[in-house]
Every structure is written in C-alpha cells, then in structure tokens.
Amino acid sequence: MNGEDLARIMEEENKIKKSQPHQIHVCVAAACLSAHSESLKEDFVKEIKRRGIEHQCKVKGVGCLGLCAQAPLVSVESEGVLYHNVTSQNVPQIVEGLGKKPVKELQASLEAPFFSRQHRVVLDNCGRIDPERIEDYISFGGYSALLKALNEMRAPEVIEQVTRSGLRGRGGAGYPTGLKWSTVSKAGGARKFVVCNADEGDPGAFMDRTILASDPHKVLEGMTIAAYAVGASEGYIYVRAEYPLAVKRLRTAVHQAERLSILGKNILGTQFNFSIEIRLGAGAFVCGEETALLASIEGKRGTPRPRPPYPAESGLWNMPTLINNVETYAHVPRIITEGGDWYAKLGTEKSKGTKMFALAGRVTNTGLIEVPMGMSLRDIIFGIGGIPEGHKFKAVQTGGPSGGCIPEQHLDTPVDYESLAKLGSIMGSGGMVVMDETSCMVDVAKYFMDFCKSESCGKCIPCRVGTAHMHDILTKITSGTASMNDLSILEELCDVVQNTSLCGLGQTAPNSILSTLRYFREEYLAHIQRRICPAGVCKMQEQST
Amino acid sequence: MMAPTQEKKQIAPPTDDKRWKIVQATMRRHGHAPNSLIETLHTVQETFGFLEKQSLEYVSLALRVPLSRVYGVATFYHFFTLKPPGEHMCVVCMGTACYIRGAQKVLQDIEQTAGTKAGETSPNGRVSLLTARCLGSCGLAPNAVFDGEVVGRLTPIEAHKRVEEWMKK
C-alpha cells in the first residue's frame, strides 16, 4: 500500500458513490442503537429491495449524527435532509420521498442553532462515514495526512505544526500538545511508546467513546502521526471495557489498517514501522490518570505514582512514553493537512481550536456537539441545548467528578481552560450536565463525593480517608443531622484533601463541594439550620429529642 | 510483548473443561507475559462468567504472577467479579445525567422487585443487579442494560415490568 493505492481506493469508492444518487445514512452510534436503529437499517434495506431500486440507493450505518435526544436519526446525505424519531412505519414514506419530496413532519431543521452554531473539526466525518469500513474513511481523504507527514515532512516539522496549532490536551488538564511531543522526541532510549488514553470515566461524558465508535480510523491516524513525530514504533490504546461498541469498532479498524499496511511494518511504503495494541480497562476511574493508566497496561493494579518523572521521560516499562487522549489525537490529521496556522485561527488566544462537549441532563437537545473554544456557556446551554419549557436553569456541571457546578450568573463566561478554572471548575474531558430547580446542590455534591470515595484507589491517605469522611458529613447534612461545626470541618477537609493528595483524583475531589459551597451556600445552610431541602430532594430525619 | 522469548512449559488447566482453550489462546497471543494478566482475566470472566478461585490459581501459575497480585488485580477493578452471576443481568446506569433524571428511583424499584441490593444477586439466583458509572448513552437518560440490551428513557414501571418477568420464569 502506498500513496497511489490510497488514491485508487478513494477513486473507486467515489465512483460507486456517484452511481448511487440516494445515500441513506442510519445512525448506529450508542444512543441510536438503544433506540433500535440497527433493525431500522434492516427495514430500509428491505424496503429498497422490495421496490427494486438497490442500484440507486445506498443504505449505510454511520457514526453519531449528534442529536441523541431525538434518536433514532436518519440522514439522507444526498439531499441534506435529517429525519428524527424515525420508526419502521416511516420507512416506506421516506423511501417514497427520495429525490422528490422529503417527509416534512419527520424533518429536523438543520438551520436550528444546534447544528448551525457548531464547528466540526474532529466530528467532520461523524455521521458521514461507515465506521466499520476503512475504504469509506479513505474516500473522505482519510490517511492522506499520514501520507503527507511520512513523505513530505521530517519529524521535527510535524511537531512544529502541532506546536503552531496551539493544540492543548483535550483530556482536561490542557497541557500543550506540541511541547509534550517535543519532550518525548528529545528523550533518549531505544524504545518509545505512544499511548492513547481512551479511559473516559467521567459520568455524563461520551465524547471519546463516540469518536471511537464513529470514526476510529481518525484516532489511529493521529496516533501514527504522533509515533512518527516522536520516534516510537509501538502503541497502546487503553479503552474502557464498559464501551463494547467502541472496543469492537476499534478492533475492526486496527485489523483493517494492518491488512492495508497502514499499521505494522513499512507503513504506506516507507521505512516507518508502528503497531498498535488494544488494552481493555476493567472499570477503575483512577486509570484515567496517566501513571495509573500505565500501571494498568503493565497488568498491575491501577494506582498512580508521584510525578516527576513524567511519562514523557519514564513511562511504560520506564521508557519515554507519549500519552494523549482520544480527542487530542483526533485533532492531529486535520492540523497536518491544513497546517497549524489554520487551526490556530479557531478558538481564543490561549485555547485554540474546537472542543467537543457531551450535553446531557435537563436540556432539550441532549447530544454531542463541537464548538470553537471561547463560546459562552450561555450560548452552548441556551442556544444549542435549550432548556425545556416550564423549567428553570440552576447550574451546569462541567468536568465530571473533578469539576464543579457553575450557576446562572457566570454563564457568560467563555469556555476555555483558564476561565473555567477561575470559576472553580475545570474543562475536563467535556461532559456538561445541566441541572434545573429539581436538583439539590448538596445532594449533587454528595453524589460526586460518593463517586470519588469508591473510586479512590486507596494508595494515599488524604484521598482514601478524606473522601470517605467528606461523604459522611454530606450524608449528615442531607439527612438534617449536621451542625455548623460539621460544615467548618468539611471546609477544612476540602483544603487538606485538595492540597495533599497524590494524584488528580484526590486533588480535584473537593471541587464539587467547594463550587457548590461558593455559589449555593444558602442551600447548605437551609439543610443545617432549618433542616429543609429547598429542592425537595433530601429526606430529613425526624428530630430525636 | 516484553521479552518472553522461549516457550515455557505448559501448565495444565484445573479441569478438562473445553473452555480453557479460549483462555489459553489469549495467554499464548501475549506470549504468557505477566503484563497480560488483565487481558487474561477478561477472557476468563467472559468465558466462565466470573473469576473462580481455581481460575485465579491457574492464571497465576500460567503467567508466573504471584497469586497475591492476581487476587489484588481481580479485586481492584470493578469490572471483575468473584461471585457467580445470576441467570439474568440488569445494569442500572448511575451516571450524572441518569442520576439527574431519576436513576435512583429506577434502581430502588428494581431492588424492591428483585429483592436484592445493587451489586448482588436475587435470593432465587434469577437476577443480578449491578450499577454502572456511565454507559455513555446520556442523551437518552435514564438508561439500564437488560441482558445486554441497552434501554433508554427508562421509567420505573418499564424497569419493574422487565425484572418481574425475569423473576417469574
């Protein structure tokens, strides 16, 4: 396989596509699948066969179309029409209308802010390609970035482009990607590794899994370019076992890439070798922390270790290791094709590019979105998301268990790494859970503390004991048995756990308490002093006098 | 992947159950390297449903990893279970989006219907009830998995109906 072969596959694919004027795309990502889109796809195939128009119509299972709230989704790509809440009864109607009149009542408006305000870089292929066919990815220009990097650029030039793009780690911490790559490339050692962190453990976040299930080759391409840039020949993808769909499609993708020698030895006819192995996580949130993740790849318990040394110098089996998350790698191919300067035009001064968010909770349009950095929270939640009628926005939780809750008065904050940190939350991997008046903020803090408590690996004491103690106090508050003294102990504990824990899990665990105390202190006081839960969620214990 | 070069002496599986062949295939694919412990345990659990004591002992010998470490890994990760599962499996998602949309109520109802607590199996061995951190189908919250089928926009009534059906049979 070389550049000519790539071009040939692309040409063949496009020829077939041209001969079939009607392209029906049925979403087969997680949410639509659970709304039975697989059988819907079968129905389309049957209906088209029944009418004997197979030569004109192509039915294709595609990755996430975005608007998960109205699953299952079907798009007729050739006509730019998107149908939502499709049932098998609608199939004949839709097929009938092909090329003539779209079915109005099922049509979703593509001019709605949910679609028009997005800017898709990572998600550009999502909903357009079949995630289980490498040829389809190639026909959309896939692996041309890798070809360009291998044939036209030297490794330092690749790093230079990534540095210029201003891309920062999309896993949450926002470390400059170019800088990380150049550290690993300069590190000595015979063997180096490239690792992809696909252990997306934040509840309420489904960006990485969606990329892996919708466009897995993009991640493989990004990783391979990274390996070329830093001089590694072995890679690992550490993916959650809880995401069977993502694992399955990823495995298929790796096999296909190996078959076409896009992975393995002499990639695309060059001297460059790189192989990728998939490692399954086993349900430990702490394995999202890089040193714990590396321990887990080595087959050990996923406990973190102190840094430095950073994995860039001493990672997997003490060799220099580059570790980025799924979304970060997925940005790379476009940066290489279009250039770092093109990418740097998107976003804000310090946070470049686009970011994916998983919108969930009390919003009308739950789903997966990608917007330029710097868009305000209000635009995302009210513009793209939309609050259901009769409900009042109360807070948005960003960054999962490590993040915090942001109230209405701060919604005009632009979404970037620094601004969110200033509000006591974090960018995190991109989960955004919207809450309304039916949520009690103390209860939410307790929910996250319960999470941190059971996910604490137990290695360092502040996190192991502190999270349990904080959870106990929150339980007391939500049952109406706490005193003001408990509240001050809670605040003190937050400080201790934040400052003395070994890894990110413990250091950020108090964020949910700190941010809710900062913005919703009166709710805590109502629970403690008046023994009432303003949202009516917590059940207060009878006073025993 | 790291180093194990020459083929080691084969350790015989604890029973003559044919399914051990699947486990052996996984270990062979990784050259019986100690770092393939988690991968191997995944295969054992997939094949046998849970990690029995004799499985752990066998894996320990075959990969030359101390039994204490095998046990440590098996108990550290939530995904592994040392207890046999019930006939049916219900996993309720307790992710943030599901929690905000009433997953707690769904879970309580199922607990009542099945007469068991989250993480345990009903007394008649019919239903295992588990919770998940996040299934990633947040758009359709609340979610649960009934024997591998992900069900979105779940109501307590629907959940009750499904579990009751299992309990009867």
CB contact under 8 A, B138 and A296: no
B126 and B159 inside one domain: yes
Closest to B133 (Cβ–Cβ): which among A203, A298, A300?
A203
CB contact under 8 A, A241 and B134: no
Q: What residues have CB less than 8 Å from A294, skipping those under 6 apart?
A: A195, A311, A315, A316, A321, A323
CB contact under 8 A, A69 and B139: yes
CB contact under 8 A, A284 and B76: yes
Q: What is the total count of domains within chain B?
A: 2
The answer to whether position B123 is within a domain reads yes
B70 and B126 inside one domain: no
How far is the CA of B57 from the CAs of A296, A322, B51, B80, in angstroms? 20, 35, 10, 15
B30 and B102 inside one domain: no
Instruction: Render pLDDT for A83-103 as a digit per residue (tens, 0 to 9).
Output: 999 999 999 999 999 988 999
The answer to whether position B142 is within a domain reads yes
CB contact under 8 A, B134 and A367: no
The answer to whether position B156 is within a domain reads yes
Mutate one of B1, B64, B137 to test the A interface: name it (highest A CB count within 10 A): B137
Interface residues on B facing A, Cβ-Cβ cutoff 8 A:
1-2, 33-39, 41-42, 65, 69, 72-73, 76-80, 94-101, 132-141, 143, 149-152
CB A279 within 8 A of CB A450: no
B112 and B68 inside one domain: no
CB contact under 8 A, A206 and B39: no
The answer to whether position B146 is within a domain reads yes
Residues of B in contact with A38 (CB under 8 A): none
CB A285 within 8 A of CB A505: yes
DSSP assignment of A145-176 = HHHHHHHH--HHHHHHHHHHHT-B-TTTT--B
**pLDDT score of B8:** 52
**pLDDT score of B140:** 86
**pLDDT score of A60:** 95
CB contact under 8 A, B100 and A367: no
CB contact under 8 A, B138 and A209: no
The answer to whether position B1 is within a domain reads no
B71 and B101 inside one domain: no
Q: pLDDT in tens for each of the 545 residues of chain A?
A: 889 999 999 999 999 999 999 999 999 998 899 889 999 999 999 999 999 999 999 999 999 999 999 989 999 988 899 999 999 999 999 999 998 899 999 999 999 999 999 999 999 999 999 999 999 999 999 999 999 999 999 999 999 999 999 999 998 889 999 999 999 999 988 899 999 999 988 888 899 999 999 999 999 999 999 999 999 999 999 999 888 899 999 999 999 999 999 999 999 999 999 999 999 999 899 999 999 999 999 999 999 999 999 999 999 999 999 999 999 999 999 999 999 999 999 999 999 999 999 999 999 999 999 999 999 999 999 999 999 999 999 999 999 999 999 999 999 999 999 999 999 999 888 999 999 999 999 999 999 999 999 999 999 999 999 999 999 999 999 999 999 999 999 999 999 999 999 999 999 999 999 999 999 999 999 999 999 999 999 999 876 55
Instruction: Render pLDDT for A341-399 as a digit per residue (tens, 0 to 9).
Output: 999 999 999 999 999 999 999 999 999 999 999 999 999 999 999 999 999 999 999 99
Instruction: Render pLDDT for A125-162 as a digit per residue (tens, 0 to 9).
Output: 999 999 999 999 999 999 999 999 999 999 999 999 99
Closest to A299 (Cβ–Cβ): which among B37, B133, B151?
B37
Residues of A in contact with B133 (CB under 8 A): 201, 203, 242, 283, 285, 451
| Single residue among B8, B41, B76 that ends a domain in this structure | B76
CB A95 within 8 A of CB A47: yes
B148 and B92 inside one domain: yes
* Tally of CB atoms within 10 A around A101: 8
CB contact under 8 A, B150 and A297: no
CB contact under 8 A, B152 and A35: yes
Exposure b/e, B109-143, CB count within 10 A at least 16 = b: bbbebbebebebbbeeebbbbbbbbbbbbbbbbbb
| Single residue among B76, B99, B122 that ends a domain in this structure | B76
B164 and B92 inside one domain: yes
B123 and B156 inside one domain: yes
* Residue closest to A89 by CA, chosen among A52, A39, A28: A39
Residues of A in contact with B132 (CB under 8 A): 242
Residue B5 pLDDT grade (very low, low, confident, very high; cuts 50, 70, 90): very low
B113 and B156 inside one domain: yes
CB-based burial of residue A419 (10 Å sphere; 0-12 exposed, 13-18 middle, 19+ buried)?
buried
**pLDDT score of A429:** 85
B25 and B92 inside one domain: no
CB contact under 8 A, B100 and A284: no
Residue B134 pLDDT grade (very low, low, confident, very high; cuts 50, 70, 90): confident
Interface size, chain A vs chain B, as Cβ–Cβ contacts under 8 Å: 144
Residue written as token pair 């049916």: B88
Mutate one of B81, B140, B150 to test the A interface: name it (highest A CB count within 10 A): B140
Cα atoms in the 13 Å half-sphere on the side-chain side of A459: 18
Mutate one of A433, A443, A457, A511 to test the B interface: name it (highest B CB count within 10 A): A433
CB contact under 8 A, A34 and B79: no
CB contact under 8 A, A282 and B35: no
Question: Where does A437-478 have alpha helices with state H?
Answer: 441-455, 461-478
Residue A212 to residue A136: CA distance in whole angstroms: 15
Region B74-93: what's the mean pLDDT? 93
The answer to whether position B3 is within a domain reads no
- For A241, nearest residue in chain B (alpha carbons): B79
CB A197 within 8 A of CB A423: no
The answer to whether position B150 is within a domain reads yes
B110 and B162 inside one domain: yes
The answer to whether position B139 is within a domain reads yes
CB contact under 8 A, B141 and A431: no
Amino acid at A351: S
Closest to B36 (Cβ–Cβ): which among A210, A284, A299?
A299
| Single residue among B9, B41, B76 that ends a domain in this structure | B76
Over pLDDT 90: what percentage of chain A? 90
Domains and CATH numbers, chain A: 18-109 (3.40.30.10), 141-154+176-330 (3.40.50.11540), 354-433 (3.10.20.600), 441-529 (1.20.1440.230)
CB contact under 8 A, A366 and B141: yes
**pLDDT score of A262:** 96
CB contact under 8 A, B136 and A30: yes
Range of the domain at B108: 88-168
Closest to A299 (Cβ–Cβ): which among B35, B135, B138?
B35
B125 and B62 inside one domain: no
Could you tell me the two tokens for A488? Answer: 């001050």
Mutate one of B60, B94, B96 to test the A interface: name it (highest A CB count within 10 A): B96
Calculate how close chain A gets to B35, using CA atoms only, in Å: 4
CB contact under 8 A, B97 and A360: yes
- For A438, nearest residue in chain B (alpha carbons): B100
Closest to B96 (Cβ–Cβ): which among A279, A301, A397?
A397
Region B71-95: what's the mean pLDDT? 94
**What CATH number corresponds to the domain at position B132?**
3.40.30.10
Mutate one of A251, A300, A319 to test the B interface: name it (highest B CB count within 10 A): A300
Residue A225 to residue A237: CA distance in whole angstroms: 15
Residue B143 to residue B92: CA distance in whole angstroms: 7
Residues of A in contact with B39 (CB under 8 A): 279-280, 299
